[in-house]
C-alpha cells in the first residue's frame, strides 16, 4: 500500500471483518461495565492476547507480527468502535515501545519487545508532567549520572496505564540548563522503585487508568538509556509523529460506533406512526456523520501509510492533521448521535453518551488539537 492508494487490500478487508466479529463477541459485552467501574479491562485484554493483537505493532525479528500501520489502524478502529478503553490497552504499550524499536539498543529490544508482543508485559510512555504537558521542555524530572547508572527523580502526570504497566519509558533532564536539548530517555522497570501515588477520575476512557508516576532516586542502569544523552526531545517527537495517526484511528472507531448505533436505533424507534429513519431531517444528520467520518478515515490511512512508506517526508504535518481532524470529527459525530437519540441519548441506557465522553480525550492527549494546528501551520509556512 503506497502513500497515494487508500483502498484496503482484500486481506485487510477480511481482517477487518474478523476483528469486528471478535470485538462484538468478546469486547463489547464488557464495555459498559468497564466504563461504570473504571477498572482495567482485564477480560478484554486477555481476549486480545488470545488473538495476538499486542504483537501487531512489534517487528517480526522481536516476536511480533510486524503489521503495517493501516492494519494497526483497523485494529484500533474496530476495538474503539465497541470499547475505546480496550483499544488503549494495545495502543499504549506500542507507544511505550516505539522509542525502544527506533532508538533502543539491541539488548533492550531483545529483552523487552518479545514480552510486550506476547502481552506478558505492558508499557507506559512518561513524557508529560503536571506543569509540563504541551510545553515538554519545561519538564523538571532529573536524571543524574552515577557511575554505570543514572539516578532518576521526578513526577510524571497524565500517564496512561499507570499502575498497570510493567515498564515505563521516562523522559528526564540530564542537562537542566539546556532546555529541550538537555532531555534524555530511559526504560525503567516498575520494580526498581516506580510508584503510583494516585489515579485521576476521568469523564471518559474510564477503563484505562491515568495517574501520577513518581520516581524518587530510582537507580537505572546506563544500559537502559534509550539513544544518547540529549536526544530525548527528538525521540519524543519522532515517537508522537508515528503514534498520532493511531489516535486518529481511535477517534474514527469511536465515531463509527456512534454512527452504527444511531442507524440501528433509527430503524427501531417509532414516532408519528413510523420509524424515525423515515424522517428526512434525521437521515441527513446520519449522512453528514458518515461523510465526515469517512473523510477522517481517509486522512488517517494516508498518515498511517506515510509511517510505513514516507517517514522522512510530510509525516509530522499529516500525522497532526489526521489526529486533529479525526478527533474533532469524532467529537462532532458523537454529539450528533446523542442529539439524534433525543432524551435516550442523554442516558446511560444507551452507549452513545459513553462514545461522546470517550471521544473528548482524543482532542487532548498526544498533543492538544491546538498544538496540532501549530505543528500544521508551522509546516505550511516553512514550505511557503
Confidence of residue 2 (pLDDT cuts 50, 70, 90): very low
For residue 137, the model assigns a pLDDT of 86
* Contact criterion met (CB below 8 Å) for 249 and 76: yes
C-alpha cell at 9: 487490500
For residue 119, the model assigns a pLDDT of 97
Q: Is 157 exposed, middle or buried (0-12, 13-18, 19+ CB in 10 A)?
A: buried
- Tell me what the pLDDT averaged over the chain comes to: 95
Give the model confidence (pLDDT) of 146-177 as tens digits: 999 999 999 999 999 999 999 999 999 999 99
The residue assigned the cell 476483528 is 19
Instruction: Catalogue all structural domains in the chain, each as residue range(s) with its CATH number.
Output: 10-118 (1.10.540.10), 123-230 (2.40.110.10), 233-383 (1.20.140.10)
- Catalytic site residue from 212, 229, 353, 366: 366
Q: Is 217 a catalytic residue?
A: no
Give the model confidence (pLDDT) of 295-348 as tens digits: 999 999 999 999 998 777 799 999 999 999 999 999 999 999 999 999 999 999
For residue 3, the model assigns a pLDDT of 42
Q: pTM of the prediction?
A: 0.95
Q: 1 pLDDT exceeds 60?
A: no
Give the model confidence (pLDDT) of 348-379 as tens digits: 999 999 999 999 999 999 999 999 999 999 99
Amino acid at each position: 500500500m503506497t502513500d497515494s492508494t487508500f483502498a484496503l487490500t482484500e486481506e485487510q478487508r477480511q481482517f477487518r471483518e474478523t476483528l469486528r466479529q471478535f470485538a462484538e463477541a468478546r469486547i463489547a459485552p464488557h464495555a459498559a461495565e468497564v466504563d461504570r467501574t473504571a477498572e482495567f479491562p482485564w477480560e478484554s485484554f486477555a481476549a486480545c492476547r488470545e488473538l495476538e493483537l499486542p504483537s501487531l505493532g512489534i517487528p517480526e525479528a522481536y516476536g511480533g507480527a510486524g503489521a503495517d500501520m493501516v492494519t494497526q489502524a483497523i485494529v484500533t478502529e474496530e476495538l474503539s468502535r465497541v470499547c475505546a478503553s480496550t483499544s488503549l490497552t494495545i495502543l499504549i504499550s506500542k507507544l511505550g515501545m516505539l522509542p525502544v524499536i527506533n532508538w533502543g539498543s539491541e539488548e533492550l529490544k531483545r529483552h523487552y519487545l518479545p514480552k510486550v508482543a506476547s502481552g506478558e508485559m505492558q508499557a507506559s510512555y512518561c513524557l508529560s508532567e503536571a506543569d509540563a504537558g504541551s510545553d515538554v521542555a519545561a519538564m523538571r524530572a532529573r536524571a543524574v549520572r552515577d557511575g554505570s547508572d543514572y539516578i532518576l527523580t521526578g513526577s510524571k502526570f497524565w500517564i496512561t496505564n499507570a499502575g498497570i504497566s510493567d515498564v515505563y519509558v521516562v523522559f528526564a533532564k540530564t542537562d537542566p540548563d539546556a532546555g529541550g536539548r538537555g532531555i534524555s530517555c530511559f526504560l525503567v522497570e516498575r520494580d526498581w522503585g516506580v510508584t503510583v501515588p494516585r489515579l485521576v477520575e476521568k469523564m471518559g476512557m474510564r477503563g484505562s487508568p491515568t495517574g501520577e508516576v513518581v520516581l524518587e532516586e530510582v537507580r537505572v542502569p546506563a544500559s537502559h538509556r534509550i539513544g544518547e544523552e540529549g536526544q530525548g526531545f527528538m525521540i519524543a517527537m519522532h515517537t508522537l509523529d508515528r503514534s498520532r495517526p493511531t489516535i486518529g484511528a481511535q477517534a474514527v472507531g469511536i465515531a463509527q460506533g456512534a454512527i452504527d448505533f444511531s442507524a440501528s436505533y433509527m430503524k427501531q424507534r417509532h414516532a408519528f406512526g413510523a420509524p424515525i429513519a423515515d424522517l428526512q431531517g434525521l437521515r441527513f444528520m446520519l449522512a453528514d456523520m458518515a461523510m465526515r467520518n469517512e473523510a477522517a478515515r481517509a486522512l488517517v490511512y494516508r498518515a498511517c501509510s506515510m509511517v510505513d512508506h514516507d517517514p522522512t517526508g510530510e509525516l509530522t504535518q499529516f500525522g497532526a492533521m489526521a489526529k486533529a481532524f479525526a478527533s474533532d470529527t469524532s467529537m462532532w459525530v458523537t454529539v450528533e448521535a446523542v442529539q439524534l437519540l433525543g432524551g435516550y441519548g442523554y442516558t446511560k441506557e444507551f452507549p452513545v453518551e459513553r462514545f461522546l465522553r470517550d471521544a473528548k480525550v482524543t482532542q487532548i492527549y498526544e498533543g492538544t488539537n491546538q498544538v496540532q494546528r501549530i505543528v500544521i501551520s508551522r509546516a505550511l509556512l516553512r514550505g511557503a
